[in-house]
Amino acid sequence: MAQDRAEVQVRAGAETDLEALVDLYNHYVSMTAVTFDTTPLTPEQRRPWLHSHPEDGPHRLLVAQDVRSERILGYTTSSPLSPKPAYATSVEVSVYCAHDAGGRGVGTRLYEALFRALEGEDAHRAYAGITQPNEASARLHARFGFKEVGRYGEVGRKFGTYWDVVWHEKELRPRDPDRPAPASGRRL
């Protein structure tokens, strides 16, 4: 039976969510190639990740929770794309839904809330890497305006198989029309 979208609350992630978030993520670690982690994580191992996503700023963690049962149905993050300072206005985004919550609009609700939260932040572009094949994730990202920008061929090995990752980009803040676009390779 499909979940009614109105029964899902999206809110900032909290310390009390850590165990549920780890359980949700570990399903993907153990059963899929959508993440390249290969060993399930413990809450203690995942705690620094949780704390690296405050309730404000460009690096967020939002959770979708079933209002009735209080079960965590999914989460989304925006994280630094790279630790190098010039990348500060670029974020890498991801969304994970409970393995039995697909097709209920949870991922859509999470991304709606995340991109709304990022509107007031100093974030210029969002990037998402999608292990191939993953049609559901590709459709979700296309719905939010992501465009394919490149492919890393056989970049990760998991379960004895090499996997490609396709990178997608979304404009978060439009280019200032008074500032010309830099030429490829041109130094400003």
Residues 6+ apart with CB under 8 A from 93: 76, 77, 78, 79, 111, 114, 126, 127, 128, 170
Write out pLDDT tens, residues 5-48. Answer: 559 999 999 999 999 999 999 999 999 999 999 999 999 999 99
Write out pLDDT tens, residues 152-163. Answer: 999 999 999 999
β-partners of residue 11 are 63
* Confidence (pLDDT) at 184: 61
CA nearest to 1, candidates 95, 104, 107, 148:
104
How would residue 186 be classed by pLDDT, with cut points 50, 70 and 90? low
Crossing angle of helices 135-143 and 106-118, rounded to 10°: 40
- 3 has pLDDT over 50: no
Three-state DSSP class for 25? helix
Average pLDDT over residues 75-100: 97
* Confidence (pLDDT) at 176: 67
**Burial environment of residue 174 by CB neighbours within 10 A (0 to 12, 13 to 18, 19 or more):** exposed
Side-chain half-sphere CA neighbours of 2 within 13 A:
7
* Confidence (pLDDT) at 173: 84
Q: Which two tokens stand for residue 9?
A: 């609350």
* Confidence (pLDDT) at 175: 67
The DSSP H or E segment spanning 95 is strand 90-97
* Confidence (pLDDT) at 2: 47
CA 80 to chain centre: 11
Assessment of whether the complete model's pTM goes beyond 0.75: yes
The rounded mean pLDDT for the chain is 92
Average pLDDT over residues 86-96: 97
Side by side, the strands of the sheet bearing 125-131 are: 8-12, 61-66, 72-80, 90-97, 125-131, 161-171, 147-158
Residues 6+ apart with CB under 8 A from 129: 92, 152, 165, 166, 167, 168
Separation of alpha carbons 175 and 149, rounded Å = 18
